[in-house]
Structure 1
Amino acid sequence: MTRPFRFFVRGLARRAFPALGSAAAVLLTVWTTMSATWSAEPIEVESVLLTPIQEVEVPAQEAGTLKRLAVAEGAMVKAGDLLAQIDDTDAQLEKTRAEIELDNARRNASNDIKVRVAVKAAEVAAAELQRGLESQKRYPKSVSETEIDRLRLTSDHAKLQVEQAKYDFETAQLALRVQQNQVQQAARQLERRRITAPVSGRVVQLFRQQGEWIEPGQAIARILRLDRLKAIGALDAASLDGDPTGRPVTLKLESPPGGQAESQGRVTFVHSEVNAVNGQVDFWAEIENPALQLRPGLRASLTILAKPAAND
């Protein structure tokens, strides 16, 4: 940052925070002069708070009686596991009906008998008309004009019957697609009565009991994701020599008796604003917790590791 620009930033801070005066100017100047280079030294954070990285209240999607609870509080679940089942008797019957209608639609869609019959009838009518015309040409008074008109009408009608049969056949194809969609919708209605875990984690609370009536949107269970946690803390802005986002971290948790558990992670967010009162910047890091030894609500110390030296 050039010297004139540094003075401009400091003056801007004084105008923005007149009550704090030069202190705000210094803090803002420090923050804006951070380069893209990481600090050469590790940054020690005495206390960070562990919080869930993901917390989900799982709702019901359909109304009905809660037929079964498939989990208990404290159970570990994987994404997609069944949590609860809403009564699906009517939905099962609807799916069965849709499948029967699909079988019927499939039979109709594959049945081209009417088309073949209409084509044959049109061929016969056309042949009769042709014979009548040839006979009239050979023996002028053998076939009357009225009979020729009747034969022509019959032939034209037969051709239209072919078109109608083809139209009906194509309509049956579309009806099959509609019925296939009906079966899919019926299956979807069944699935919506299965309340499943959207994420892997621990069921920490159940809001409903078996046998209760459930409305759409009502929460059934609360799940905490525990295999990865968020460590929230604050950094002194003056101690930063750049944006630490993306830097690896080591979290240390005191564990009795006299032990210490370590977990690894990475800085994922650093707030863009400096607290003008204490000169600190809020940040958080995502911490791996595959063994689930860390729990939300605990406090621990954290070290933001230094950037490896670049090769010249």
Structure 2
Amino acid sequence: MPATRTLTFLFTICALILLATGGPVSADDQTSGSNELRIDSVLVSLIEQVEVPAREVGQLNQMLVKEGASVQKGDVLAQIEATEAMLLMQQAKLEFEMALLKDENDVNLRFAQKSHEVAKAELQRAEDSIKKYPKSISKTELDRLKLTADKAELEIEQAVEEAKTTHLEAKLKQNAEQIAELAVQKRKVVSPITGMVVQIMTREGEWVRPGDTVLRILKLDRLRAEGLINASQLLDRDLKNRPVVLLVNPGTKQQVEFKGKVSFVSPEVNPVNNQTRVWAEIENPDLKLKPGMRASLIIK
């Protein structure tokens, strides 16, 4: 009987402990006791990958990279036939230079201003002469001199308006030159991100159309580690931007660590298992971490 009472007493104590703590202590809960959370079996995946398209129709003349090549954002990866586009660009440049010279030429305006000065001077001399000698100049001649002065003034206004038109024409030619330059640039296949070329879809000599995928690039210097965590552990925690350590091959001689930070905690909770998604961005400067790897994540 004493042994039975002792056993009953022990079961009672255990039940009270479970009620007080809310259930059995999991591995995650033990980690959280040391101010860390551990998520086992996280999946490493890509944050960004791009299928780089052709932007103009034509024959692919030159492929400048191979699979496995590291490229920087803005690098030219391939070249589409651009001979006609370059000729049109040269033509547009020459037309713009001609329009610019015409815009900078103010000879007509200066000539109109000088003609107006001469006409005003002639009219003034005629009026002065009439004041001294009333019949020295006929009324018809005086009217002609006034008309010449008025005409010269109007020619100044006309020269000013023509200068405005010429300036706008120069701007139009400049715009046409920029459009022609853009047409040349669009025949270059340019990398939109920094990453690694992993697949070439189009080979030299093949015909491409706008939207056709030429090659595929993966961004590997920063990857995502995504896993699931029990929502009950997040009630009083804000994990956003917390530092993390990703462990590949944890507990073995081949264990490798990568650093990063939490970038997203899903606001949705799975009603079946009470888990939510968490992912962190992991720095991968040496490109040793690969998409598809499974690892463990420790959130500090």
- TM-score of the aligned structures, taking structure 1 as reference length: 0.80
- The code of the aligned residue for 1:242 comes to R
Partner of 2:172: 178
Which of 184, 208, 226 is matched with 1:214 structurally? 208
- How many residue pairs were aligned? 269
Alignment of 1:49-198 (within 5 A): 49-198=43-192
| Superposed CA RMSD | 2.1
- The code of the aligned residue for 1:267 comes to V
Runs of 4+ displaced beyond 6 Å? none
Partner of 2:232: 238
**DSSP 3-state at the match of 1:273:** coil
Partners in 2 of 1:247 and 1:127 — Cα distance?
Answer: 86
- The code of the aligned residue for 1:204 comes to V
- The code of the aligned residue for 2:206 comes to E
Query: What displacement does 1:108 show?
Result: 1.3
Partners in 2 of 1:273 and 1:169 — Cα distance?
Answer: 66
8 A Cα contact 1:55 1:225, kept in partner:
yes
Partners in 1 of 2:64 and 2:36 — Cα distance?
Answer: 47
8 A Cα contact 1:39 1:242, kept in partner:
no
Query: What displacement does 1:96 show?
Result: 0.7
Deviation string for 1:170-199 (max 9, x for gaps)?
Answer: 332333333223222222221111111111
2:267 matches 1:276:
no
Partner of 1:5: none
Partners in 1 of 2:37 and 2:122 — Cα distance?
Answer: 101
Aligned CA distance change for structure 1 residues 89 and 302 (closer, same or farther; 3 Å): same
Deviation string for 1:274-302 (max 9, x for gaps)?
Answer: 11111111111111111100111111111
Larger Rg: 2
Uncovered stretches (5+) of structure 2, i.e. residues with no partner: 1-21, 23-31
Q: Percent identity, aligned pairs only?
A: 46
Partners in 1 of 2:43 and 2:197 — Cα distance?
Answer: 21
Aligned CA distance change for structure 1 residues 39 and 142 (closer, same or farther; 3 Å): farther
Query: What displacement does 1:271 show?
Result: 0.8
Uncovered stretches (5+) of structure 1, i.e. residues with no partner: 1-25, 27-37, 306-312
Alignment of 1:1-40 (within 5 A): none
- TM-score of the aligned structures, taking structure 2 as reference length: 0.84
